[in-house]
Amino acid sequence: MKFFQRKRIRYVPFGMLFATVSILLAFLLFKTDIFGGFFKALEYKSLDVMFKWRGAVLPNPNLIIVKIDERELIDFGYPIPHNITAQAIYYMTEAGAKAIGIDLFLNKQSEEALNKLLVYSTEYSNVYLAVGPYRPSGISDEELDFYIDSLVHYKVSKWGVPIQPQMKRYFHRSVTFAGKSFDELVDACLGIGHVAILPDPFDGVQRRVPLFVEYAGRIYPSLGAVLAFEYLGIDYKNVKIIKKRNEIVFSFDGLQIPTSLKSELFVNYAGPDTIFRQVSLYKVIEAGINGDKEFLSQFKNAVVIIGPTARSLGDLGPNPFSEKSPNVYIHANVFNTIVSQNFIRPVSWRVQLLIMIVLTMIVGISGFITRFHNSLILTVAILVGYFAFSFLSFTQLLRWFYNAEPTLSILICYISSVSYLTIRENKQKQQIRSMFEKYVDASVVDKLIENPELMALGGEERELTILFSDIQGFTTMSEKLTPHELVTLLNELLDELSLIIFKNKGTIDKYIGDAIMAFWGAPIPDENHAYNACVTAIEMQEKLKELRERWRKLGRPEIKMRIGINTGRVIVGNMGSKVKFNYTVIGDDVNLASRLEGANKEYGTSIMIGESTYEKVKDKVVVRELDLLVVKGKTEPVKVYELIGLVNNTLPSWINEFIEVYREALKLYREREWDRAIELFSRALEIYPDDYTCKLYIQRCLYFKEVPPPEDWSGVFVMQTK
């Protein structure tokens, strides 16, 4: 079975047009906020789905989360007393912790001794404190520098990395660190890391963090990033910032971190929160007091993040694996993303657009040049194949190919093209049904509706077999009947004959008064068109014989019918004007079929077929050659035959003997053996006394005996009438 149909190639521009409109519409929906970011949310949701399909991956084993959960709030109260925090820092540092990040803003507490204890503990440990960037709303980038908090800048600037002014626009900017610990503690810590997160505005899911934020001309790393740098032994102050076409790359010694053009790192979530190693703050304090070295040994060379996980504190947010996840796990995932160097990089929009164009064009064009089920299979295959490609690219190469945008483009294109084609095909089906239901059998109409390409609407050349039938003596008969009786009789006859034509795969071209013009081989191709036409002619005569018996009993006049059949290459199709047209055939071979119908009068026969028809059916029918005939309006002779019956039908026993004698007589006639020909024609009449053709040839022989034909005569008879 062909996947596409050659005749439909001309519809390729329509497919491309539908694809182009679909691409533009999808691009508009995803690149603008016409629907409030709904479609952008779909794209990011597809990223979440890929995370879930990928499943969990083991994070770095040297990262430990120390949880401040509901028990700690009950046992210690909140805020956690500084002596508890100091003890935990001390115990973990003594156990060999490489770095400790505190995801809390530690303000001074009422007991100064506890504040000093925490400062002392921090000073002799590798502690990194959290800071919270702040930018007032409604302030432009140009005005931002006027709002810089210089006091805070003085305290934290030693941990910032200076950048060129023109690079500021590639960062999220802040005027201060509104959230930070008290000054003495900040002075004692090893460094700071911001805890800004970027919940996506359309669904609130936290998929990105600013790798660095800009404050007062310097950039500061996130808490998870600064802990990763400490773990890897990287001095982040030696960073090189490389601006590329679609991303900002932060280059360190042996490490390159790709981010968006706003320095946002896509967090490669390891899995659900439970996948990380984690202990409670209470357990750390308990182990330290009890001297549980086995428990504390897990902190050797570990990076620790202390942060709240109690839901009552509200420091929660959704991520691809959880609807409500403590934000401390964001910093853990940032740390793991950098240390594992498994960076998610969105593919450039140009590549995305190219893929969308190619796939949508394929779907659009296939919808117009293939059958419905083929285009559906192809569309599904393209979507499944693209999803598989996208998923493998994400899991194996960490390249994020958009899913929702090309999917929407493909679906818009497919649904719109199918809808258009359905409307067009329904209209075409109705057109075909109204055009053909009166001319061909219902099964043929259904096949045309299913395969409209079988019908040449503009006309094409085909080899067909054409049949003309006419009632003999119709004018005389009509004078004996009232108009009502004539119409009733004629309708009954045409009904019966039309059913026979339809049964044998014929197409009725037109009714011409009492005559019928039909043809075989169009609109549905028929390899046996000549044979089916011959079968139809015989069955029509048999049906008329039945009707004559019935009409005789009703006192109606006897009706006889002549039929002419010819085969040849003709033009078939819709012909006429824009206002009215018919599905018809034209050509010399059509005219010859009509002439053969009329020629029956000359020979007293009922069914006459042309030589071209005979050549196609000679092994299946019983015929006798009638003459070499030049019909009116033609110059070349054609052999014509009387169709007597079918080979597989039972014929009277005398037929074969009659045909044999007749054939020999016709041979003698053409050899100018007039007397011997008369003798054999007479013998044939003894077998079948009512044969008008034999009588005709006897008359010709007698004539030619008196008036011999020219020397170049070849047995041709020229008709003078139609």
User: How far is Cα 310 from Cα 321, in angstroms, rounded to an integer?
Assistant: 18
Of 391, 376, 398, 385, nearest in space to 358 by CA: 385
pLDDT of residue 650: 84
pTM, two decimals, is 0.67
**Cβ distance 257 to 219 under 8 Å?**
no
- Quick one: fold of 454-651? Alpha-Beta Plaits (3.30.70)
**SS3 at position 695:** helix
Query: If you ran DSSP here, which 8-state letter would residue 709 be given?
Result: P
User: How confident is the model over 119-156, as pLDDT tens digits?
Assistant: 999 999 999 999 999 888 888 888 888 888 888 888 89
pLDDT band at 15 (very low <50, low <70, confident <90, very high): confident
Strand-pairing partners, residue 326, are 316
Residue 401 has pLDDT above 50, yes or no: yes
Which residues, 6+ apart, have CB-to-CB distance to 178 below 8 Å?
132, 133, 134
pLDDT band at 182 (very low <50, low <70, confident <90, very high): very high
Residue 79: asked if its preceding bond is cis (omega within 30°), the reply is yes
Residues above pLDDT 90, as percent of the chain: 68
pLDDT of residue 579: 62
pLDDT band at 636 (very low <50, low <70, confident <90, very high): confident
User: How confident is the model over 528-537, as pLDDT tens digits?
Assistant: 999 999 999 9
Phi/psi at 106 (5° precision): -95, 100
pLDDT band at 306 (very low <50, low <70, confident <90, very high): very high
pLDDT of residue 372: 81
Of 716, 512, 518, 530, nearest in space to 634 by CA: 716
Residue 710 has pLDDT above 50, yes or no: yes
Residue 50 has pLDDT above 70, yes or no: yes
pLDDT of residue 27: 86
User: How confident is the model over 417-447, as pLDDT tens digits?
Assistant: 988 888 887 887 776 666 565 555 565 566 6
Residue 405 burial (10 A CB sphere; 0-12, 13-18, 19+): buried
Write the Ramachandran bin of 77: left for phi over 0, alpha for psi from -120 to 50, otherwise beta. left
Number of other CB atoms surrounding residue 646 within 10 Å: 17
Rg, the chain, Cα only: 48
Compute the residue count for the chain. Answer: 722
pLDDT of residue 1: 42
Phi/psi at 510 (5° precision): -165, 160
User: How far is Cα 223 from Cα 129, in angstroms, rounded to an integer?
Assistant: 8
The residues spanned by each domain of the chain are: 6-31+347-432, 53-345, 454-651, 652-716
User: How confident is the model over 264-305, as pLDDT tens digits?
Assistant: 999 999 999 999 999 999 999 999 999 999 999 999 999 999
**Residue bearing the bigger pLDDT, 659 or 578:** 659
Residue 673 has pLDDT above 90, yes or no: yes
User: How far is Cα 500 from Cα 537, in angstroms, rounded to an integer?
Assistant: 9
**Cβ distance 685 to 574 under 8 Å?**
no
Q: Which helix H or strand E contains 635, and what residues bound it?
A: none
**Looking at 662-719, which runs of residues are DSSP E strands?**
716-718
Residue 717 has pLDDT above 90, yes or no: no
pLDDT of residue 436: 60
**Residue bearing the bigger pLDDT, 367 or 397:** 397
Beginning with the edge strand found earlier in the chain, give each strand of the sheet holding 240-243 in spatial order. Answer: 240-243, 248-252, 255-259
pLDDT of residue 660: 95
Strand-pairing partners, residue 131, are 194
User: How far is Cα 593 from Cα 616, in angstroms, rounded to an integer?
Assistant: 16
User: How confident is the model over 463-517, as pLDDT tens digits?
Assistant: 999 999 999 877 777 777 888 888 888 899 999 999 999 999 999 989 888 899 9
pLDDT of residue 444: 58
Residue 413 has pLDDT above 80, yes or no: yes
**Residue bearing the bigger pLDDT, 124 or 454:** 124
User: How confident is the model over 333-347, as pLDDT tens digits?
Assistant: 999 999 999 999 999
Residue 581 has pLDDT above 80, yes or no: no
**Residue bearing the bigger pLDDT, 444 or 316:** 316
When the pLDDT of each residue in the chain is averaged and rounded to a whole number, the result is: 90
pLDDT of residue 578: 61
**Looking at 474-547, which runs of residues are DSSP E strands?**
507-512, 515-520
Residue 454 has pLDDT above 60, yes or no: no
**pLDDT mean over 223-231:** 97
**pLDDT mean over 647-661:** 91
Lowest mean pLDDT among 16-20, 62-66, 432-436: 432-436
Q: Which helix H or strand E contains 192, and what residues bound it?
A: strand 191-194
**pLDDT mean over 586-596:** 94
**Cβ distance 668 to 692 under 8 Å?**
no
**Looking at 96-159, which runs of residues are DSSP E strands?**
99-102, 127-134
Query: If you ran DSSP here, which 8-state letter would residue 688 be given?
Result: S
Q: Residues of 151-172 as b/e, b for ≥16 C-beta within 10 angstroms?
A: ebbebbeebbbebeeeeeebbb
User: How confident is the model over 229-246, as pLDDT tens digits?
Assistant: 999 999 999 999 999 988
Residue 523: asked if its preceding bond is cis (omega within 30°), the reply is yes
**Cβ distance 645 to 665 under 8 Å?**
no
Query: If you ran DSSP here, which 8-state letter would residue 302 be given?
Result: -
**pLDDT mean over 714-722:** 72
**Cβ distance 421 to 364 under 8 Å?**
no
Q: Which helix H or strand E contains 489, and what residues bound it?
A: helix 483-503
**Residue bearing the bigger pLDDT, 608 or 434:** 608
User: How far is Cα 28 from Cα 566, in angstroms, rounded to an integer?
Assistant: 63
pLDDT of residue 439: 54
**pLDDT mean over 184-188:** 93
The residue to which tokens 């030589």 are assigned: 611
pLDDT band at 520 (very low <50, low <70, confident <90, very high): very high
**pLDDT mean over 14-21:** 90
Four-point Cα dihedral 514, 519, 522, 525, nearest 10: 140
Q: What are 249's two structure tokens?
A: 């790359």
**pLDDT mean over 25-40:** 81
Strand-pairing partners, residue 161, are 219
pLDDT of residue 446: 65
**Cβ distance 630 to 597 under 8 Å?**
no
User: How far is Cα 137 from Cα 158, in angstroms, rounded to an integer?
Assistant: 27
pLDDT of residue 141: 81
Q: Which helix H or strand E contains 179, and what residues bound it?
A: strand 176-179
CA atoms within 13 Å, Cβ hemisphere of 288: 19
User: How far is Cα 689 from Cα 445, in angstroms, rounded to an integer?
Assistant: 46
User: How far is Cα 249 from Cα 239, in angstroms, rounded to an integer?
Assistant: 10
User: How confident is the model over 76-124, as pLDDT tens digits?
Assistant: 999 999 999 999 999 999 999 999 999 999 999 999 999 999 999 999 9
Residues above pLDDT 70, as percent of the chain: 93
**pLDDT mean over 611-632:** 93
